[in-house]
Amino acid sequence: MESSLPPSTAAKPSAVQDRVRRAAVELFANQGYANTSVQQIVEAAGVTKGAMYHYFRSKDDLLFGIYEHLLTLQREHLAAIVANDSPTAERLRAACLDVIGTSIEFLDEGTVFFRSAHMLSPERQLEVKHRRRLYNDAFAALIEQGQREGIFRSDIPRAVLVANFFSDLHYLPQWYSPEGPEAGSLIAEQLTDLFIAGVTTTDETSGH
């Protein structure tokens, strides 16, 4: 949207590059990676194949770029939140709100992220898996701390608790569609509420 600025401004990531990326994300999200031809992408972006292959080494590069973007973003956000010195419950809440918010902001990217992981080259699949695991572990560590403090229930394996939250991120692109401007953060709060409600210790779940 800031593409209407005079071309003199800022470091250009090349208009072509950007348009190809945007077109690719949208097409991948709507038709799947394997079902989208390079020809379609360049047509949607209004460039030629030669131009595209000038900036990207392969179709796979285009796909991996999406993962790279989201993974980096989420890692940075979570690291910042965890580093806070607020109470565990608040940090968990902040982490949930943030990652749901991000997922809503990048809905198409999320769709591709969760649907097309198996289309990446094997090495890159490993890379993605690894970095996802790091995120997962950092998140799980938050929950573990809460469990030690006695505020989160311990009668259910931590892996299940974590999966129960991550599932919301997975499913989000499948049912959420942006309506109002604020609707996004509202959904984020509601889903976070539900998760926290499920994970918080109650009389029945405290000790076991």
Cα dihedral 205, 159, 63, 116 sign: negative
Alpha-carbon span 153 to 82, nearest angstrom: 20
Per DSSP, the residues of 133-187 read HHHHHHHHHHHHHHHHHTSB--SS-HHHHHHHHHHHHHHHHHH----SSSHHHHH
Counting Cβ atoms within 10 Å, is residue 181 exposed (0-12), middle (13-18) or buried (19+)? exposed
**39 touches which of a second copy, DNA, none (CB within 5 to 8 A by kind)?**
DNA
Tell whether residue 118 is a contact of a second copy (CB under 8 A). yes
Alpha-carbon span 146 to 54, nearest angstrom: 50
Tell whether residue 115 is a contact of DNA (CB under 7 A). no
**191 touches which of DNA, a second copy, none (CB within 5 to 8 A by kind)?**
a second copy
Tell whether residue 177 is a contact of a second copy (CB under 8 A). no
Tell whether residue 181 is a contact of DNA (CB under 7 A). no
Of the residues 76, 90, 105, 193, which one makes contact with a second copy according to CB under 8 A: 193
Of the residues 59, 91, 93, 132, which one makes contact with DNA according to CB under 7 A: 59
Tell whether residue 160 is a contact of a second copy (CB under 8 A). yes
Stretch that binds DNA, among 39-47, 127-135, 162-170, 183-191 (CB under 7 A): 39-47
Could you count the other beta carbons within 10 Å of the beta carbon of residue 169?
19
We find the least distance from the C-beta atom of residue 148 to a second copy, in angstroms, to be: 20
Ranges assigned E (strand) in 27-98: none
Tell whether residue 130 is a contact of DNA (CB under 7 A). no
Alpha-carbon span 131 to 75, nearest angstrom: 9
Tell whether residue 168 is a contact of a second copy (CB under 8 A). yes
Residues of this chain that bind DNA (CB under 7 A): 14-16, 36-40, 47-51, 53-55, 58-60
Residues of this chain that bind a second copy (CB under 8 A): 30-35, 114-116, 118-119, 156-157, 159-161, 163-164, 166-168, 170-172, 174-176, 187, 190-191, 193-195, 197-199, 202, 205
